[in-house]
Amino acid sequence: MIQLALSAQKTRQFFAAYPENPKAYAEDANDLGLTAFQKTLNTDFTEVHENAHSQRIGAEVSPYMQVGLGVRYAQYSPADLIKYATEVQTEWANVAIDKRAEILTDSLERVSHRFFELAYATMHTTGQGFMMAFQASGPHSNDRALEVISLAWQELTRFETDVDWVKNMGKFDLKLKKTYKPIPRGISLVIGCSTFPTWNTVPGLYASLMAGNPVIIKPHPKSILPIAIVVAEIQNSLKAAGIHPNVVQLGVDTPENQITKILAENPAVKMIDYTGGSVFGDYLETIQNKITFTEKAGVNSAIVDSTTNAEATFGNLAFSACLYSGQMCTAPQNIFIPEGGINTADGNLSFDDCVQHLCTAIKNLVENPKAGPFTLGAIQNDLTVSRVEAAKLKATVALDSIQIVNPEFPDARVKSPVVMVVDATNAELWKHECFGPAVFVIKTKDSAESLKLAAASATELGAITCLCYSTNESFCSTVADTMNNAFTPVSFNFHGAAFVNSHAAFSDFHVTGGNPSGNAGFTNPEYVNRRFVWVGNRYA
């Protein structure tokens, strides 16, 4: 499996170790997964290894049911988490590299039997629709984990470990025995986010484990259950191999009493993985003597210059904006369109008509009872709603949020995207992140200005993605050069089933690490080889 994964990473061709279609799994897998999730509600989660603790806590609330899940987890102090990680540090570091790979790939197989349970756990902590929750927390998450396991294995075995070194000195040979060993850096802290508690967590988790480091996972207090299931299966694989399960620990907290800073600032923690807002990410990057891997906020742009199919273009943009109500770090927020409109196969389409096409496409999608509620999902956090409502007060609203009712969960917090029209000169209205169901259509002088503003935004605020629609090859080339120099990848003329939101394991790098949206990316060699240090010894 590792060799297949490495081959895919080298060629960047499609590869998936775990099918993303739920129908590829056992016929009763969905029912069994739902039952397992329901049995977890209002109980103590005892599947993870438990050390001595004084109480249990839990604050997760379903965005669909608007009620607490009632799942309680063992609570540990930061000092105890550090203590337990320190105690197993040497044991895990001494496990052979091939054995680590065997244990960790075994854990993925164990997790794969719980994909449907993970889907429901993710739905009811994040608000993702079922299909996204199944794919993101199940097969796509496992594929990302396998991606880092295989790449780390390659980096850890890059050099010979035992060498008979000979240098001719003229009348004699100087002979030395040399050994080389990758030494783990130490305790790794992985800080989870509320919207993608497994997909964004497992790369850092598995990369650090593969490199021989014990890991403390500090999940978002509102999205614990999905990653708790993953931790339980990793611990099961560790125990089956005769290794102490404290190699990976779950450090939970509540919104009122968070332990993240205490853990992050502890000198024993050598590495920090983080996904979340820029303010806290910036703080983490300033802590001395830490290696940080951050994915922070960014402002993603779409540049609309011209198109062969206006309906397909705006339909694609509409879906990308509606998917999980824009609660994705890859969702397009700012759509730049020239004031003179765009060229299409049917002639010029005015700026106002472009806005109308986008609004119509969003309405057609969200008002479709078979697609709308399940594409939108539910809003994970009340603050997301208030953020968008505040933005509406300052802009011209072309399309307000449409009242949508989820037929399965009538109490779900559902919000379709608000489309706001602003002029490029009013940068204070659009040049900031408005995470959630919000789209700014920005009127520019021409496509050249659209590109200039998108590039400046990526450089100053960060961007993870950029989308461009143009039939002009020269302009596309300029866009690629300009945005790539702002360390931002570009997706050109996406129609049909290709969406800017989606990044494929083994093929697409997620976050470049070159602009303020984050300092690391899934998954390049640097992402794994900074987690260990090569040390060589010489023997006469």
pLDDT in tens, 364-411: 999 999 999 999 999 999 899 999 999 998 899 999 999 999 999 999
Tell me if the bond preceding 523 is cis, omega within 30° of 0. yes
In the chain the domains, ranked by start, together with CATH numbers, are 16-160+185-297 (3.40.605.10), 301-492 (3.40.309.10)
Q: Which pLDDT score is estimated for 358?
A: 98
pLDDT band at residue 193 under the 50/70/90 scheme? very high
The answer on pLDDT for 297 being more than 90 is no
* pLDDT tens profile 317-345: 999 999 999 999 999 999 999 999 999 99
Whether pLDDT at 71 is above 90: yes
Is the CA virtual torsion 349, 352, 356, 359 positive or negative?
Answer: positive
Position 162 pLDDT exceeds 90: yes
The number of beta carbons lying within 10 Å of the beta carbon of residue 299 is 24
Confidence of residue 92 (pLDDT cuts 50, 70, 90): very high
SS3 497: coil
Kindly tell me if the per-residue pLDDT of 435 is higher than 90.
yes
Q: Tell me how long the chain is.
A: 540
Give the pLDDT of residue 532: 98
**What pLDDT sits at residue 209?**
98
Angle, to 10 degrees, between the axis of helix 115-126 and the axis of helix 29-40? Answer: 50
Calculate the CA 32 to chain-centre distance.
Answer: 27
> Tell me: the pLDDT tens digits for 163-177?
999 999 999 999 999
Residue type, 19: P
**How many of the other CB atoms lie within 10 Å of CB of 23?**
8
> Do residues 481 and 487 lie in contact, with contact meaning Cβ atoms separated by under 8 Å?
no
SS3 annotation, 36-78: HHHHHCCCECCCCCCCCCCCEECCCECCCCCCECCCEEECCCH
Mean pLDDT of the chain: 97
For residue range 224-264, list pLDDT tens digits in order: 999 999 999 999 999 999 999 999 999 999 999 999 999 99
CA distance 187 to 189: 7
Q: What is the pLDDT of residue 54?
A: 85
